[in-house]
């Protein structure tokens, strides 16, 4: 797999690479990311994209960011599922949900997330990176599940947030829709650095290039060690969590 094989494959992801650093910019129709459940939205694309990235030996470091002034902050009605019923939608959503996080953590080189604004939906995509930088305008929440009345938080967030925030704060965060600002996120260890929006990408690129100058075996074996526990915990809990999410949706 090479960059030319996937550079224009996805409608919600732009790719560019310099000196081994692959920049992966999420967008919706060229603007800030909006989330959905259709076959052509990021929920469907990201798992496959992460797998393509993992298979490309020319990638030394991955830099993930969003577009405009938000990372993922809202939903898009245009990305509604196409299946006739929710029951018929769920097998696809289940497979996509597993692939999204499993393939993210299967990327064999370090990942840097530059959170360019509010990450209110699937913020775990950013905070699972090895280095997380945030604009001072960023905030973190999980508004796609319990707070919206729409879903059980079973797609990995039930592992990620209690792990990062501690069991009690993590459960509070998931149940209430609490928003954690960038500075507090740094204080509690979710974010490594907080920068102005203008300084965010330059700093992320600086760190990425610093890592990319290191030997590839060092990068790959370090990444393997850093994500080993995360992969195990998500393997243990992700399938079960998605099953609970599906069951709660289908019985409403």
C-alpha span between 183 and 190 (Å, rounded) = 10
| CA–CA distances in Å: residue 124 to residues 34, 82, 140 | 15, 25, 9
Which 3 state secondary structure label does DSSP give 25?
strand
- State the Rg of the chain over Cα: 17
User: How would you label 58-84 residue by residue, b for 16+ Cβ within 10 Å and e otherwise?
Assistant: ebbbbbbbbbeebbbbebbeebebebe
Q: Provide the CB-side half-sphere exposure for 36 (13 A, CA).
A: 18
Catalytic site residue from 23, 45, 96, 124: 124
Which 3 state secondary structure label does DSSP give 23?
strand
Backbone angles phi, psi at 65, to 5 degrees: -150, 175
C-alpha span between 202 and 197 (Å, rounded) = 10
Based on the residue annotation, tell me whether 124 is a catalytic residue of this protein. yes
Which are the catalytic amino acids? 124
């Amino acid at each position: 797999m090479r960059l030319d094989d996937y550079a224009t494959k996805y409608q919600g992801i732009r790719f560019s690479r310099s000196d081994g650093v692959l920049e992966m910019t999420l967008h919706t129709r060229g603007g800030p990311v909006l989330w959905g459940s259709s076959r052509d939205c990021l929920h469907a694309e990201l798992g496959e994209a992460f797998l393509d990235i993992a298979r490309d030996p020319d990638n030394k470091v991955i830099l993930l960011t969003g577009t405009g002034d938000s990372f993922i902050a809202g939903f898009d009605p245009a990305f509604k599922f196409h299946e006739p019923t929710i029951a018929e939608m769920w097998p696809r959503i289940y497979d996509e949900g597993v692939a999204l996080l499993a393939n993210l953590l299967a990327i064999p080189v370090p990942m840097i997330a530059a959170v360019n604004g509010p990450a209110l939906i699937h913020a775990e995509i950013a905070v699972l990176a090895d280095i997380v930088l945030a604009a001072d305008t960023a905030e973190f929440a999980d508004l796609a599940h319990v707070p919206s009345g729409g879903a059980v938080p079973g797609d990995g967030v039930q592992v990620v947030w209690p792990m990062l925030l501690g069991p009690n704060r993590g459960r509070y965060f998931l149940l209430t829709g609490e928003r954690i600002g960038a500075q507090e996120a740094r204080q509690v260890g979710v974010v490594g650095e907080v920068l102005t929006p203008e300084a965010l990408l330059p700093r992320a690129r600086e760190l990425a290039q610093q890592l990319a100058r290191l030997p590839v075996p060092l990068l790959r074996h370090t990444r393997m060690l850093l994500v080993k526990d995360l992969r195990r915990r998500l393997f243990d809990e992700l399938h079960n969590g998605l099953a609970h999410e599906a069951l709660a949706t289908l019985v409403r």
